[in-house]
Structure 1
Amino acid sequence: MKYIIFEDFGGHQTPILFPGRILHEEMRDQIPYARVLSAGEVECIGGEFVCRGRSKALGVKASAEDAAVISAHFAGQESDT
């Protein structure tokens, strides 16, 4: 799957996961007012999220903290990192 992590209006990191057939820039167009922090591909390996890659079109790449941000949202917590 692909993902983008946005900064919402409250300054929180908000991940959006979507199918690989959708381009990062297509998903970006759906959320025009939030700032893009990172983007790439995510998969679950051995119960852990692994993020990698980049979006050339958005000019961002996966960061070391992306997996923790995504995990926190699946656990029902918000991550402020």
Structure 2
Amino acid sequence: MKYIMFEDFAGKPLPIIFPERIEFDEFREQIPYSSVRSAGFVVQDPQGLRCYGKAKNLGPEVITAHPDDAAIIAENFEEK
């Protein structure tokens, strides 16, 4: 799966996961948040979630996965 980590209007990270067949820029056009924090691919393996890679087509610079992205995404799956 692919993901884009946005910053919401309060400045908090907001991950959105979507299928690999959708291009990063196509998905980005559908989301109102103005700031992209990071982007890449997310997989679940025996050690848990892992984020890696980059998105070349989100703007003038390449947006990459950050080391803390997997923890932020995993946090959203925890029961509150």
Please give the TM-score of this superposition, normalised by the length of structure 2. Answer: 0.89
Paired AA for residue 71 in structure 1: A
Structure 1 stretches lacking a partner, 5+ long? none
> Structure 1 residues 43, 15: closer, same or farther in 2, change over 3 A?
same
Percent identity of equivalent pairs? 47
CA contact (8 A) 2:6 2:33 kept: no
Q: Which runs of 4+ in 1 moved over 6 A?
A: none
Q: How does 1:1-81 map to 2 (within 5 A)?
A: 1-46=1-46, 48-58=48-58, 59-76=62-79
RMSD (Å), alpha carbons? 1.4
Query: Displacement, 1:32?
Result: 3.3
Structure 2 stretches lacking a partner, 5+ long? none
Aligned length: 77
Higher helix share: 1
Tell me the secondary structure at the aligned position of residue 74 of structure 1: coil
For residues 7-30 of structure 1, give each alpha carbon's deviation from its aligned partner in whole angstroms, at most 9, with x where no partner exists: 000111000000000001111101
